[in-house]
Structure 1
Amino acid sequence: MLASRLTHLHIPPSNSSPPPTIPIKISNSPTYSAPFHPPLLLHPPPRSSSGTHKSYTTAPTPSSAPPLASPSRNPSQLSTPIRRTSSTIRPPMILNVKFLRNKVVKKMGVVEIEEVKKVRMKGKSGDDGIFAMKVMRKDTIIKNNHVDYMRAERDILTKVVHPFIVPLRYSFQTKSKLYLILDFINGGHLFYHLYRQGIFSEDQARVYTAEIVSAVSHLHKSGIVHRDLKPENILMDADGHVMLTDFGLAKEIDESSRSNSLCGTTEYMAPEILQSKGHNKNADWWSVGILLYEMLNGQPPYTHANRKKLQEKIINEKLKLPPRLTSEAHSLLKELLQKDPLKRLGSGPRGAEEIKSHKWFRTINWKKLEERELQTKFTPDVSGNDCTANFDKCWTTMPLDDSPAPTPTAGEHFHGYTYVAPNPWLSTE
């Protein structure tokens, strides 16, 4: 049962003012803890150089949402079956939390609806595991019409297993908040390192881009479109490999379908999304092209302080490529940043294989890459599993106050949210 896995949940304090440890234990009694502090996903602060890169959507949420789908994974990928708690099979499907021994380690960021904290969880054997805890207020989710996105994120994370995607370990809820427990990736955001280095060399960017292509390809094969690929949503582990995170705008789309939602982060949104022409997985390949351009040049190809003018530039302006880049890099960028989604690299019947076989990737051994055997060109300076040195201090030094949240009346939106990964202690070392 999930409760037995979460016997002790510690959120260690910041170095500046350690708060006292509050004992916490999970109970099966029908009582609930006071709301935890409202946290976020793994986002860095807004960019001072080019303005806030904010994700947004305009898709409405139905007045009544069906219960969350049961977790499902490819049996060939897992050696143990999915563990379900009693909370996941009987309404109201809420993990009964009476007291959580919870000590916040570091606050990793804040956005409108959610927040992410680094937490320490004590396992059965007494060894501690460091995780990222994403916390979302139910009332804000409902108010902002984000119920569908919240439900999709949790469902998608239960299905995805890939070496370059941050794995979900648990999900649970209280009366007022939702919680996702994911692996803590301590190398920081890709944006943080790009901002510090200015630009990446083609050799350095090649490995990162290949790992992103591998992760996105896996999503597409699973019928999932990410729709918010950007440096803030890509983390780097202690070995220098990138890890895709934040599935808050991801959507499951079958091969013949298109989505008409206006969602994403403007600088990385494909023209067909901005024009409301309907989009599919091809929109992700546009975002990969923007990411590669930014890694090689320090900023996206289309920027403007005014959102409307920025959208017009993305739709109409011709791509300008720096002459210092190799002809192979020019070729790949032109093909990924093709404004017509049907002509974009990766849109053909071979999908991601078209991208993997591009001459810019000729030095990449894709089998070794997906086994994490390729040597990275850069390794972040990490002092331990709980190191936060590679995250911006404006987030990790924030006060760890806990804001109460009201209990929404529309609780049926969140039935079935609880989940336990088949082996949640797989990566706690």
Structure 2
Amino acid sequence: MKRVSKKHIVAKRQEEHMLFEKKILKATQCNFIVSLHAAFKDTRYIYMVMEFCVGGEIWTKLKEVGRFDEPIAMFCTACVVEAYAYLHKKNIMYRDLKPENLMLDIKGYVKLVDFGFSKEMVHGDKTYSFVGTPEYMAPEIIKNQGHDFAVDFWSLGVLIYELLVGSPPFSSSEPQKIYAKILDGVLKYPPYMSEAARSIISKMCRWFSSMNWHKLRVGQLDAPTVRLIRKGPCYINFDRFPLDQTKAEEEFSGWDRDF
């Protein structure tokens, strides 16, 4: 269950994003996107009850093993490609790809979560909002030149790099330095990375030559990611955080009327 303080949403001006996230998840039927079972609210929070992805975040698994081998990275990325195909067909840009927003189900298949930065847009149009996670932002977002669905594929290249290396290609503790590196566009590839992987990261092609897309779509592939999922209590694959005992303040502006 995702629980978000309404006061926090209003303070960050995320009302429209939250309503759009609920709308997308409610209308979505895709094996590669987390499904929403129910949404409700009280005076302090909005709540979204989603399917439980027992394997936890790809981010957690990446931290545990350091970096993924190519079959695992390729499988994870192929699942994202399927989710993208579904969303783009419905004129929805995702715009927040990163390992923290990818979850593993019990079979090891990857599902996209968190649609707070998504946007509905007609193909051929451009939008000018400055959104995303700095390491994954495309140059056209940083330069505010107007962006379209292509930004999702830029972030896919960044994801492949991070899965194979264990850290993103453009990083710094300061966002401004990250943006400068992205605009410079200089990529350093570690020696163990295959030529095909380097090619897909710089050109988005060739890497999926061994992927059986039909079997992936209907869930008939044996997911190599299964070996990342630990057996045990239902929460064993998740990072543990101390329980936040503080209560959010009440919020009555009414933006969540239809939530």
- Shorter-normalised TM range: over 0.9
After TM superposition, give the deviation of residue 156 of structure 1 in Å.
1.1
**Which of 212, 234, 256 is the aligned partner of 1:365?**
212
- Say whether 1:229 aligns with 2:58: no
Query: Who wins on radius of gyration, i.e. which is larger?
Result: 1
Partners of 1:404 and 1:267 lie apart in 2 by: 30
> What TM-score results when the alignment is normalised by the length of structure 1?
0.58
**Deviation beyond 6 Å, 4+ runs, structure 1:** none
After TM superposition, give the deviation of residue 219 of structure 1 in Å.
0.8
- Say whether 1:297 aligns with 2:169: no
Cα pair distance change 1:257/1:382, threshold 3 Å: farther
Q: Which residues in structure 2 correspond to 1:20-419 (within 5 Å)? A: 133-336=1-204, 358-379=205-226, 380-383=229-232, 387-393=234-240, 395=241, 398-399=242-243, 401=245, 403-408=247-252, 410-411=253-254, 413-417=255-259
Task: Give the counterpart letter for 1:364 in structure 2.
Answer: M
Secondary structure (helix, strand or coil) at the match of 2:46 reads: strand
Task: Give the counterpart letter for 1:222 in structure 2.
Answer: K
Cα pair distance change 1:140/1:271, threshold 3 Å: same
Q: Which has the higher helix share?
A: 2
Instruction: Determine if contact 1:186/1:382 at 8 Å carries over to the other structure.
Output: no
Task: Give the counterpart letter for 1:401 in structure 2.
Answer: Q
Partners of 2:132 and 2:65 lie apart in 1 by: 26
Cα pair distance change 1:276/1:404, threshold 3 Å: closer
Partners of 1:200 and 1:136 lie apart in 2 by: 32
Partners of 1:267 and 1:140 lie apart in 2 by: 24
* RMSD across aligned positions (CA): 1.5
Secondary structure (helix, strand or coil) at the match of 1:142 reads: helix
Instruction: Determine if contact 2:7/2:248 at 8 Å carries over to the other structure.
Output: no
Instruction: Provide, for residues 329-353 of structure 1, a one-character-per-residue CA deviation record: whole Å limited to 9, x for no partner.
Output: 12111114xxxxxxxxxxxxxxxxx
Instruction: Provide, for residues 11-40 of structure 1, a one-character-per-residue CA deviation record: whole Å limited to 9, x for no partner.
Output: xxxxxxxxxxxxxxxxxxxxxxxxxxxxxx
Task: Give the counterpart letter for 1:143 in structure 2.
Answer: A
Task: Give the counterpart letter for 1:382 in structure 2.
Answer: K
Cα pair distance change 1:367/1:404, threshold 3 Å: same
Partners of 1:296 and 1:261 lie apart in 2 by: 30
Partners of 2:195 and 2:156 lie apart in 1 by: 18
Runs of 5+ unmatched residues, structure 1: 1-132, 337-357, 418-429
Look up the match of 1:95. Answer: none
> What TM-score results when the alignment is normalised by the length of structure 2?
0.94
Instruction: Provide, for residues 143-168 of structure 1, a one-character-per-residue CA deviation record: whole Å limited to 9, x for no partner.
Output: 22111111111111112111111101
Secondary structure (helix, strand or coil) at the match of 1:378 reads: helix
Instruction: Provide, for residues 270-295 of structure 1, a one-character-per-residue CA deviation record: whole Å limited to 9, x for no partner.
Output: 11111111111110111111110011
After TM superposition, give the deviation of residue 256 of structure 1 in Å.
2.3
After TM superposition, give the deviation of residue 400 of structure 1 in Å.
5.6
After TM superposition, give the deviation of residue 212 of structure 1 in Å.
0.9
Task: Give the counterpart letter for 1:359 in structure 2.
Answer: R
Partners of 2:181 and 2:51 lie apart in 1 by: 38
After TM superposition, give the deviation of residue 175 of structure 1 in Å.
2.7
Cα pair distance change 1:367/1:266, threshold 3 Å: same
Instruction: Provide, for residues 20-76 of structure 1, a one-character-per-residue CA deviation record: whole Å limited to 9, x for no partner.
Output: xxxxxxxxxxxxxxxxxxxxxxxxxxxxxxxxxxxxxxxxxxxxxxxxxxxxxxxxx
Task: Give the counterpart letter for 1:406 in structure 2.
Answer: E
Instruction: Provide, for residues 293-342 of structure 1, a one-character-per-residue CA deviation record: whole Å limited to 9, x for no partner.
Output: 01111111111112111111011132222332222212111114xxxxxx
Partners of 2:26 and 2:36 lie apart in 1 by: 7
Instruction: Determine if contact 1:209/1:288 at 8 Å carries over to the other structure.
Output: yes
Secondary structure (helix, strand or coil) at the match of 2:225 reads: coil
Secondary structure (helix, strand or coil) at the match of 2:38 reads: strand
Q: Kindly, what percent of the aligned residue pairs are identical?
A: 35
After TM superposition, give the deviation of residue 205 of structure 1 in Å.
0.9
Equivalenced residues, count: 257
After TM superposition, give the deviation of residue 402 of structure 1 in Å.
5.3
Partners of 1:305 and 1:142 lie apart in 2 by: 27
Partners of 1:320 and 1:269 lie apart in 2 by: 18
Instruction: Determine if contact 1:185/1:238 at 8 Å carries over to the other structure.
Output: yes
Partners of 1:400 and 1:145 lie apart in 2 by: 23
Partners of 2:96 and 2:203 lie apart in 1 by: 20
Task: Give the counterpart letter for 1:283 in structure 2.
Answer: V
